[in-house]
Structure 1
Amino acid sequence: MPAHTVRFKQIDVFTSVPFKGNPLAVVFDADALDTEQMQTIAHWTNLSETTFLLKPGDPAADYRVRIFTTRGELPFAGHPTLGTAHALLESGYRPKQAGKLVQQCGVGLVELEALPEADGAWAFAAPPARVTPLAEDRYAALSTALRSDAIDFSATPCAVDNGAPWLVVRVDSARACLALEPDAAALADIVHSVNTHGLAVYGPHDANGPATFEVRCLMAGGRFGVGEDPVTGSANAALAGLLSAQQLRPGARYSVRQGTALGRAGQVRVHYDEARPEGDPLRARGKTWIGGPSVTIVDGTFRLP
């Protein structure tokens, strides 16, 4: 019996330079696969996420995607959203509306739009999030877990869940962010106590620095595994929303550098919508957009059992 094959791409997200972003596996034409098969494939690719492209069930959507880590399925994740869109467009797909896409996934419909830059970058609209402040009696434990006295508690640390839950913590500088050497066991205790899988730590760069903020995403078990994530769309969406809620926005647009501690060079672009353009019913007032470029590393077919 001949082997069954489907189209496959491996994308590096939040970078235009190969091997400097966050890799993603994308499996096309996945409607015939069941959940167990998808999980098996995601476990085999051994990447932080693998996505599966399916026909949409909602007439407003361009496509449907299921997102898997090596351990389980996620209702939403940021770099898989951008990487999947890149793979789909590169394969020749034409959006229903030029310059825009609508992705159907576990959190519902997620809008994407082409950024005006010439590098083919796209951005997604951050999904709604639940925000839960960290209790003050956990502040000392957080400092212990990060082995740092540079946490800026004037910006309350908060658990932010937009489908991928992160505890967002501000430190007083990008330098302090890069210097963190957390206690893994203590970190796991903190994030599990607030039902997240990791910490998204950020610190501001100097005015002439390479970006507005430095971000590190420190994972502590659960579906995200352990270690540090190179570049993280969901965490940057969580951060952008929290900056807005805490009235700490650095402006209508800002940039993030992530992955530095891992030898990567992830670049994330964030902008806030203040008004809905005339004649654009999909874009709601006050959207937060998280974007960046993507580049294809592997392009071919995937053999299925």
Structure 2
Amino acid sequence: MLNYDVLDVFTDRPFAGNQLAVVHNAEELSDRQMQAVAQEFGYSETAFPLPPTDPAADYRLRIFTPITELPFAGHPSIGTAWLLGSTGGLPHGPATQQTARGLHRVVLDAERATLTGDAPVVGDYLDAGPLAGALGLFRSDVYPHAEAGVAGAGLDFTFLPVRADAVTRAVPRADLAEHVVGRGLVAVSFVDGAAHVRMFRRTGGEDPATGSAALALGVWLADRGLLHGDGEHNITVRQGEELRRPSTLDCTVTTVGGVATHVAVGGRVVPVAHGQIRVP
């Protein structure tokens, strides 16, 4: 039997935020077995903390959706780091996480963890019309002062700027995947340093909280000139309200010459359950 914990990430109360299963002592599991465990839980991601293979890392993390392994993800990184800190596996303070994407800095304390993303990347600019249509929206719903397109800081996402009331009205169409580059399509309304977002996965479904999308959002906001002045910008990201799992993600973006040079995302974590699961 394998021990596991279930956490709610990016929330300060249980039964909100994004669910995460963390499965322990999985060193002997094959890829197929990890995939089977993730499919059994059925959450957006299941995390497997393992001993590092890089001497510079404190631990290694493998992350599986119900259908595939991800090289990097935000809420599994935040949740697992916090859990290891709360159970004595890591001291509070900075630590280094190893994933298939490489090494990432995490900082943890008694209530929350913060993850630093990869080097910011800006991808293609895209026509907002087809993206809006893929969410059942109209061109009139598109925010006209920022161009849609792709950005990332670990995983790439497609961003569609929309008016505030349009975020809640978005309903993905069956052909959404044909219009999306990267992990998913993010509808975003950004006003006075606060963002209301929804993230629709290219493979289907919607996330209640997406840490890697919050990292990418900071890159996209900087590139579109929506962050004014250079230095550190603090952004509050709201997500998950439409799924009745409200989430709060705290994103920090450092800009130099109007370009994002460093992005981080943090949030609180709440334990929900602990148990055992069979070895597949």
Do these two structures clear the TM 0.5 threshold for a shared fold by scoring above it? Answer: yes
Q: Which consecutive unaligned segments of at least 5 residues does structure 2 have?
A: none
TM-score normalized by the length of structure 1: 0.82
| 1:187 counterpart residue number | 176
Stretches of structure 1 lacking an aligned partner (at least 5 in a row): 276-284
Question: Deviations for 1:81-131, whole angstroms, at most 9, x for unmatched residues?
Answer: 101112211221233xx511110001100111237xxx6121100112442
Picking from 113, 119, 123, the partner of 2:107 is: 113
Aligned-partner Cα distance in 1 for 2:163–2:78? 30
Matches within 5 A, 1:1-305: 5-95=1-91, 98-114=92-108, 120-135=111-126, 138-146=127-135, 147-148=137-138, 149-173=140-164, 175-182=165-172, 184-191=173-180, 194=181, 196-205=182-191, 212-221=194-203, 226-249=204-227, 252-273=233-254, 286-305=261-280
Please state how far the C-alpha of 1:133 moved relative to its aligned partner: 1.9
Q: 1:65 deviation in Å?
A: 0.5
Instruction: Check whether the contact 1:112–1:124 (CA below 8 A) recurs between aligned residues.
Output: yes
- Write out per-residue CA displacement over residues 122-146 of structure 1, whole angstroms, 9 at most, x where no aligned residue: 11001124422234xx433223223
Cα distance in 2 for residues equivalent to 1:134 and 1:190: 12
Give the C-alpha shift of residue 260 in structure 1: 0.9
Matches of 1:92 and 1:220, distance apart in 2:
37
Conservation of the 8 A alpha-carbon contact between 2:115 and 2:265: yes
Shift of 1:274: 6.7
Identical-pair percentage: 35
Rounded Cα–Cα distance in structure 2 between residues aligned with 1:69 and 1:141: 27
Taking structure 1 as reference, are residues 186 and 153 closer, same or farther at Cα in structure 2, changes over 3 Å only? farther
Q: Counterpart amino acid of 1:180?
A: A
Segments of 4+ moved more than 6 angstroms: none
Q: What TM-score does the superposition give when structure 2 sets the normalisation length?
A: 0.89
1:190-233 Cα deviation digits (max 9, x unpaired): 11xx3x2420111035x6xxx81101001232xxxx12111110
Partner deviation per Cα, 1:135-189 (whole Å, 9 max, x = no partner): 4xx433223223222212432212234443311111132x22112233x123222
Aligned residues, how many? 272
One-letter amino acid of the counterpart of residue 262, structure 2: K
When residues 286 and 167 of structure 1 are mapped into structure 2, their CA distance, relative to the original with a 3 A threshold, is closer
Structure 1 letter corresponding to 2:190: P
Deviations for 1:228-276, whole angstroms, at most 9, x for unmatched residues? 111110111110111122231267212011001111210011123579x
| Partner Cα separation in structure 1 for residue 133 and residue 225 of structure 2 | 27
Q: Deviations over 1:8-45 (max 9, x none)?
A: 11110000110111001111121111111111111111
Equivalent residue number for residue 280 of structure 1: none
Letter matched to residue 59 of structure 2: Y
| Aligned mates of 1:140, 1:274 — CA distance in 2 | 29
Q: CA RMSD in A?
A: 2.2
Higher strand share: 2
Alpha carbons 2:33, 2:279 under 8 Å: kept: no
